[in-house]
Amino acid sequence: MSRIIGLVQSKGGVGKTTTALNLAAELARRGHSVRVLDADPEANAAATAKLGRLPFAVAAHLIEGRSDAGAWAKVVKDGSADYTVVDAPGAMGAAYGATVAVSDIVLVPAGATALELRGAANTVKFVRDFRRSRGGAAPEILVVPSRVDRRTVAGREAVATLASLTEPVSPPISSRQPVADSIAAGETVAAGSPSAAEYAALLDAVLTRLGVEVTA
């Protein structure tokens, strides 16, 4: 059965799609089969994939409403890939909750702005409440400092604020222009680049939380 990684944040524009695609690229680089499901009506992941330069499949997979959640989840769970990465919309709607429900681990990206940090806190609370309602420990939570500059006071304070949520925090993803440029070109970050190393470190953190042996 495919392990499911959900990218979830109640605030849009926090780097969910960029993180989803680059995480999938690193999984593919390590020899894993991977697919990305774009559950966001804005369809940014699917639009990026249309340029035909990604080394993995991306498919739009929208949910029409809560009554559609069961069928939606079945498609997510039935994948034959080693890993399924779900890019959820930035709103607390049906797809947001369904992604949390189906995921083995939820990644919560957030930058340094107050709105992003508040969104991360709201999302972490939502996942905790979901786990409590099910009486279990799944899904895992991994908070991802996204597009931060730890050389700045704001960047360091953002990482500290995210750590105060008392959930595991991944190594940060720095704000770099080549990351945005690569997505605009329909690609992920260049192999061997500083950003590629950061996404590799993020994947290591994800696999560790999932209890999977980390291999280069």
Helical residues (DSSP H) of 14-113, grouped into ranges: 16-29, 44-49, 69-77, 94-102
* Residue 25 near residue 130 (C-beta atoms within 8 A): no
Residue 79's pLDDT is what? 81
Structure tokens at 137: 């420990």
Is there a domain that residue 55 lies in?
Answer: yes
12: CATH: 3.40.50.300
Is there a domain that residue 63 lies in?
Answer: yes
Please state, in angstroms and rounded to a whole number, the distance separating the CA atoms of residues 169 and 208. 12
Q: At what angle do helices 177-184 and 16-29 cross, to 10 degrees?
A: 80
Is there a domain that residue 97 lies in?
Answer: yes
Is there a domain that residue 215 lies in?
Answer: no
* Residue 7 near residue 100 (C-beta atoms within 8 A): no
Please state, in angstroms and rounded to a whole number, the distance separating the CA atoms of residues 169 and 159. 8
Is there a domain that residue 114 lies in?
Answer: yes
Is there a domain that residue 216 lies in?
Answer: no
Q: Is the peptide bond before 139 cis (omega within 30 degrees of 0)?
A: yes
Please state, in angstroms and rounded to a whole number, the distance separating the CA atoms of residues 49 and 33. 16
- 55 Rama sector, left if φ>0, alpha if ψ -120 to 50, beta otherwise: alpha
Residue 1's pLDDT is what? 79
Residue with tokens 């597009």: 147
Largest CA distance in the chain: 47
Residue 53's pLDDT is what? 94
- The domain total for the chain is 1
Q: What is the DSSP letter of 150?
A: T
Q: pLDDT (tens digit, 9 = 90+) per residue, 106-157? A: 999 999 899 999 999 999 999 999 999 999 878 999 999 998 888 888 888 9
* Residue 48 near residue 17 (C-beta atoms within 8 A): yes
Q: Can you list the residues of the chain whose pLDDT is less than 50?
A: none
Domain that holds residue 40: 3-209
CA neighbours closer than 13 Å in the CB half-sphere of residue 22 = 28
* Residue 34 near residue 82 (C-beta atoms within 8 A): yes
Is there a domain that residue 126 lies in?
Answer: yes
Single pTM value for the model: 0.95
